[in-house]
Amino acid sequence: MAGHSQFKNIMHRKGKQDAMRSKMFGKLAREITVAAKLGTPDPAMNPRLRLAITAARAENVPKDNIERAIKKALGNEGENYDEIRYEGYGPGGVAVIVEALTDNRNRAASDIRSYFTKSGGNLGETGSVSFMFDRVGVIEYDAKVASDDAMLEAAIEAGAEDVASSEDGHEVFASPETFREVAKALEAKFGEARKAALVWKPQNTITVDDETGEKLFKLLDLLNEHDDVQNVYANFEVSDALAAKMSA
């Protein structure tokens, strides 16, 4: 758990940099458009769209951008995106899962394979590493929203499976089947979450040395900067010193 949260927070802080902001907005808008196309454009009736809008709001995406992304789906404008999951091993044998939305499968596969190869890793078949992760729903709240005990009590009552609280906030985990109901119950009690999404949570983490850690961060940065890549997950932990250096 510590490794997962540590990694997530590092990537989150890096994502806050202005250079990444417009790219992040574009990826969030793409997910909104795809979610609206696959279901109804009403977020109350479309869980995936509701989650996509929640994620966009958490990153301060302007309301106009969100509405424009939904309208694009209604008008059948733009490209049709395929959802693809890539799996492989990065430096140090670390397992990596990459979720992508792409309008060009060949381009995405070629680019992502080259990133893995250049980093000293290798891209595998779908299913080659996902067995080392659990598919779970995560609902996040700021630490100030509730005390650790109050969040734990509310989460248990809502049917959650696990809670991790720290100074960075509360992470509530639920199964994919109960995720929606848990999120709804917590929202009724604490208001809108800062994040609510289905993620790949590593069952165990590998501790890597700083040299390997730097190579891993370079690979993850390359992947995150690719326009087609929506989310990246990995099962490693690094030293506090490297974490601080990479998030500076």
Question: Has residue 132 been placed in a domain?
Answer: no
For residue range 8-29, what is the model confidence (pLDDT) as tens digits?
444 444 444 555 677 888 889 9
> How far is CA 140 from each of CA 88, 115, 131, 170, 198, rounded to the nearest angstrom?
27, 30, 24, 6, 12
Asked whether the beta carbons of 128 and 88 are under 8 A apart, the reply is: yes
Domain limits at 164?
Answer: 143-193
pLDDT at 156: 94
Taking CA 20 as the corner, what is the angle to CA 164 and CA 38, rounded to the nearest 5 degrees?
75
Mean pLDDT over each residue of the chain, to the nearest integer? 86
What are the two backbone dihedrals, phi and then psi, of residue 162, each rounded to the nearest 5 degrees? -160, 155
The reply to whether 20 and 121 lie within a common domain is no
Question: Has residue 241 been placed in a domain?
Answer: yes
The reply to whether 109 and 218 lie within a common domain is yes
The reply to whether 51 and 174 lie within a common domain is no
pLDDT at 5: 45
Mean pLDDT to the nearest integer, 112-129: 94
Mean pLDDT to the nearest integer, 60-79: 83
pLDDT at 26: 87
Q: Into how many domains does the chain fold?
A: 3
Q: Domain of 68: which CATH number?
A: 1.10.10.200
The reply to whether 189 and 218 lie within a common domain is no
Question: Has residue 64 been placed in a domain?
Answer: yes
The reply to whether 67 and 22 lie within a common domain is yes
Whether the pLDDT of residue 239 is over 70: the answer is yes
pLDDT at 13: 43
The pTM of this model reads: 0.83
Q: What is the DSSP letter of 203?
A: S
Taken in order 60, 4, 198, 231, is the CA torsion positive or negative?
positive
For residue range 129-176, what is the model confidence (pLDDT) as tens digits?
999 999 999 999 999 999 999 999 999 999 999 999 988 899 999 999
